[in-house]
Amino acid sequence: MGDCVRINKRIVVAVILIAAALTAVVLAFFALNGEWMFRSEPQRHKPTVDLEKKPIESRTALTEELCRNALETDGQKAAYETISDYINRSESERFRLYSSDTNEFQIALNAYLSDHPEVFWLDDSSSYRYYEYDDSLDVELIFTQTGEELSQNKASLEAAVEKVAGDAPDIADDYEIELYLNDWFTENCSYNTDGGNKHSAYGALINGEAVCDGYSHAFQLLCNRLGVTCTVVEGTSEFNSDAEDGHMWNCVKLGESWYHIDVTWNDSSNAECGVEHYFYVNLNDEQIALDHSVSGGFDQRFNNKGNYFNVFLPKCDSDELNWFRLNGVVISDPDDDDEPVAALIEAAKNRDAYFACVIDEKADFNAVCDKIIDGCAVSWIKGANHFLGGDPKISEDEKIFSYESKRVLALQLKYE
């Protein structure tokens, strides 16, 4: 009888130990999977891009001259045609315009250079000299190179354009072409105020160094070569509004809408996170005006403390294809975690290096960011890892960057 009691006690102890072990396993399991154990995988509600995808071989170069079409007088149009003839000669030659209005010539020259980003051989500081007569104007464009040197450099630029265009995605819509080119500049060009040909597409594409107008002309040249309508925009920015030098960026037409894009500012040498390369992709007029000032027409050229003006300036009134609208997750309450978890799953499957959140305009930016940093980000990663099943696994050792002026918070992702 005593032996039976002792055996039963051993059984009870064994049962208790087994139960404790099972409890520990269950607790550990729930610690890893938490609430996601009984939830279905969340799905991303991501805006779509409704643009036609085209094979690269069907993309033809655009030749439309947007600024030429915006010229208003016969004198401006005649000057444009004459400039077109003489600027493409192998040597600089003096020519006559049968109008004594120097303003019409300046408007025509601005229009021509805005339509033809391939021109790199005009002198940066003084692109022309002129001689006034009572009823006419003699003009000489100032070339920095001529003859065989100019011919060879034109061929070099054409080869560079063909190389970048040829490496574009095989099948893509215009928005994807735009992103490809934006990424190309952030990877292959550097902002350098001392670079040779820094104001031209040649400097950006051949030397890999340029300033804002070099970036802008090169971007326009590549867009138009790949069938994407693009123009340049002159103005100033918050960094140089008091300086003699202005700023230049681009507008692109995607579908039926125009958007601002500033590849110079996207190529920040101080970028800490990849999302910074898309801050200025497809902004509307209201958004670009937060730190850029667009110049008006010729009669308003001194309003921005410089001789800057736009012959053609499209209205940009859409944010449909803004990069952050398409790729960022809008957060108002970090505890509402379906969308961020779904986006993290998508980012991990693509092995993305970062994940972007856009803080809702109605929410307190700092309060929402603090909540994400203090625990929600890790909770989101745990949820994503639950559904990823370890392939891949996102590290919880995340690094977070916040950009209050853009209302953006970004997680730099690492994988185990």
One domain, residues 171 and 254 = yes
Q: Give the pLDDT score at 26.
A: 47
One domain, residues 293 and 216 = yes
Is 26 inside any structural domain?
yes
The residue whose two tokens read 């037409």 is 253
Say if residues 267 and 186 touch (Cβ distance below 8 Å).
yes
- The predicted-structure confidence for 184-197, as pLDDT tens digits, reads as follows 999 999 999 997 89
* DSSP state at residue 367: H
Say if residues 156 and 117 touch (Cβ distance below 8 Å).
no
One domain, residues 315 and 210 = yes
- Domain boundary pick from 141, 170, 195: 141
- The predicted-structure confidence for 34-51, as pLDDT tens digits, reads as follows 567 778 999 998 899 999
One domain, residues 342 and 294 = no
Q: Per mean pLDDT, which range of 30-34, 58-62, 76-80, 365-369 is the poorest?
A: 30-34
Q: Give dist(CA 353, CA 415) in Å, integer.
A: 9
For residue 187, give the CATH number of its domain. Answer: 3.10.620
pLDDT at position 28 over 60: no
Is 84 inside any structural domain?
yes
Structurally, the chain folds into a number of domains equal to: 4
Is 391 inside any structural domain?
yes
176 alpha carbon, distance to own chain's centre: 11
One domain, residues 307 and 160 = yes
Q: Give the pLDDT score at 73.
A: 96
Is 47 inside any structural domain?
no
Longest dimension (CA), the chain: 134
Alpha helices in 34-73 (DSSP H): 66-70
Say if residues 104 and 111 touch (Cβ distance below 8 Å).
no
pLDDT at position 23 over 90: no
Say if residues 246 and 235 touch (Cβ distance below 8 Å).
yes
Query: What pTM value is reported for the model?
Result: 0.90
Range of the domain at 106: 58-141
> pLDDT band at residue 112, thresholds of 50, 70 and 90?
very high
One domain, residues 194 and 302 = yes
Average pLDDT score, the chain: 92
**338-349 vs 377-388: helix axis angle to the nearest 10?**
60
Q: Cα–Cα distances in Å, from 357 out to 110, 136, 190, 247, 407?
A: 40, 60, 28, 29, 8
